[in-house]
Chain A
Amino acid sequence: MLTYTIRRLLLSIPTLLFIALVIFLLLELAPGDPMGQMPLTIPDDVKQRMREALGLGEPWYTRFGLWLYQFFVVEPQYWIDGAFGTNFAEGKQRIISFQSRSPVFDTISERIPQTLWVVGMSYIVGILIALPIGIYSAYRQYSVFDQAGTFITMIGFSIPPFFTGPLLIVIFAVQLGWLPSVYDTTHVVRDWDTFVTQFKQMILPVMVLALQTTAQIARYMRASMLDNLGQDYVRTARAKGLGESIVVMKHVLRNSMIPVVTVIALGIPSIFGGAIITEQVFKVNGIGQLLIIAIQGNDIPMVMTLTFLFAVLIVMFNIIADVLYGVLDPRIRYD
Chain B
Amino acid sequence: MTDSTIAQPQADDKARNQWWDVWDQFKSHKGAMAGLIFLIFITLFCLLGPLLWSLDPGKLDIRNKDLRPVYVALWDGSAKTSWANPMGTDNLGRDIMANIMQGGRISLAVGWTAMVLAILIGTTIGVIAGYFRRLDGLLMRFTDLVLALPLLPLLLVMMLLFRDPLRAAFGPENGIFILIVAGIGITSWMQTARIVRGDVMALKEREFVLAARSIGTPSRRMITRHLLPNVLSPIMVSATLGLATAIITESALSFLGLGFPSDFPTWGKILFDNVDRMTRFPERVLFPGLAISLTVLSVNYIGDGLRDALDPRIRGQ
Contacts and interface: CB of A to CB of B under 8 A. Distances in A.
Nearest to B276: A166
A307 B162 CA distance: 18
B278 A166 contact: yes
A246 interface: no
Interface stretch (A14-22, A33-41, A189-197): A14-22
Contacts, number: 121
Interface residues of B, number: 44
B161 A31 contact: yes
B255 A276 contact: no
A96 B144 CA distance: 31
A155 B244 CA distance: 12
A113 B297 CA distance: 34
A295 interface: yes
A95 interface: no
A148 interface: no
Complex A-B, nearest 10 residue pairs according to Cβ-Cβ distance, in ascending order? A310-B150, A163-B289, A158-B297, A158-B296, A273-B152, A162-B255, A159-B293, A307-B153, A174-B279, A160-B248
Interface of A: 15, 18-19, 22-23, 26-27, 29-32, 151, 154-155, 157-160, 162-163, 166-167, 169-170, 174, 269, 273-274, 276-277, 280-281, 291-292, 295-296, 303, 306-307, 310-311, 313-315, 318
Given A31-B165, A167-B289, A273-B151, 12 more contacts: A27-B161, A29-B162, A32-B160, A151-B31, A159-B293, A162-B271, A273-B150, A276-B153, A291-B156, A292-B256, A296-B257, A315-B148
28 contacts: A26-B157, A27-B157, A157-B300, A158-B296, A158-B297, A159-B289, A160-B248, A160-B251, A163-B289, A163-B292, A163-B293, A166-B289, A167-B286, A170-B278, A269-B150, A274-B152, A276-B156, A277-B255, A280-B256, A291-B153, A296-B257, A306-B153, A307-B154, A311-B149, A313-B150, A314-B147, A315-B148, A318-B148
Interface of B: 31, 144-145, 147-154, 156-158, 160-162, 164-165, 244, 248, 251-252, 255-258, 268, 271-272, 275, 278-279, 282, 285-286, 289, 292-293, 296-297, 300-301, 304
